[in-house]
Copies of this chain bind each other. A is one copy, B any other.
């Protein structure tokens, strides 16, 4: 039975039969079988192997050359030359033991600079690796952060199942960042370069979010309606509406953008929610004290001390509220398995607008005795 025969039988099997077979086979044979599949068949098999949508198991390449600790540099270079054609990269070689467990990596330049009879065991580096079930973006980010040319991917038992090369990692990161940025701006990512995208497609990528946000913003109309009598009594209060909700929106966006970026970089995880809450509460209070003091003085000089007090107290409350909500929202989104960027700036602005107005008029009524 030749490789191609096995491959053709394997290709024709149903994905779930394939996985039962794979479970029975040694990992090395399984990997060889996977290599024979077309990309779409491979994706199908990845599903059945249990690699979830968006996992690195779906994006890794099964085409690599392995090194072994007990072989010499020269023998390994021979393997490299023999495997060159079919491998995604040969500049970083995963080193596996006899049971196919990843024990390290070795760089081609280290093999080339070593004496021919040097053992791979003495040349190998620490084995950074990702699990096949890990999130693709996280694994790609890790590959980029560690400045690796390739990151080995292992299964739950630590056996090598694939390799992520830096160029594939870059592709994953670029897509993820375009998506994040579009969502932070409140639109869907474009699938083509901007100038090559039809105007109608651009309109479509934005209009749904705009309508959703506009519906959300009717909340602000309703809040103001409740206070319509107060507004009629004291029209001056309406002058500050854009300034107050604008500052709230800016404060919320700052917090959301910082935390969203920290999430993408892996500096913050969803379980850090309390730490983030505590920090943003203090940041928001500090910002509120500064802006509130300035607001009190400026508005007080222009419209009298009572209005100054209302504006100062409202800015203090809004900044604290906005920073806290803005900082925590991306973590909540991540926990709910929603893209944190979706839940970010425009949504936070809308939410902070409505609650900020409520706070504003409650403070105004209390201070001005309306």
Contact = CB atoms under 8 A, between A and B. Distances in A.
Interface of A: 80-81, 84-85, 90-91, 108-109, 112-113, 144-145, 147, 149, 166-167, 170-171, 174, 177-178, 181-182, 184-187, 190, 193-196, 199-200, 202-203, 206-207, 209-211, 213-214, 217-218, 220-221, 224-225, 228, 231-232, 235-236, 238-243, 245-247, 249-251, 253-254, 256-262, 265, 267-268, 272, 275-276, 279, 282-283, 286-287, 290-291, 294-295, 298, 319, 345-346, 349-350, 353, 357
A226 to B, nearest CB: 10
Contacts of A235: 228, 231-232, 235, 238
B287 A257 contact: no
Contact of A186 (B238, B239, B254): B254
B247 A203 contact: no
A225 B246 contact: no
A248 to B, nearest CB: 10
A108 B84 contact: no
Contact of A242 (B241, B262, B298): B241
Contact of A184 (B178, B187, B257, B275): B257
A20 to B, nearest CB: 37
A210 B283 CA distance: 13
Contacts of A202: 258, 279, 283
A301 to B, nearest CB: 12
B228 A239 contact: yes
Given A108-B108, A283-B202, A287-B207, A195 B84 contact: no
Contact of A247 (B171, B210, B262): B210
Given A206-B287, A287-B203, A239 B225 contact: yes
User: Of residues A193, A200, A203, A243, which shows the largest number of chain B Cβ atoms within 10 Å of its Cβ?
Assistant: A243
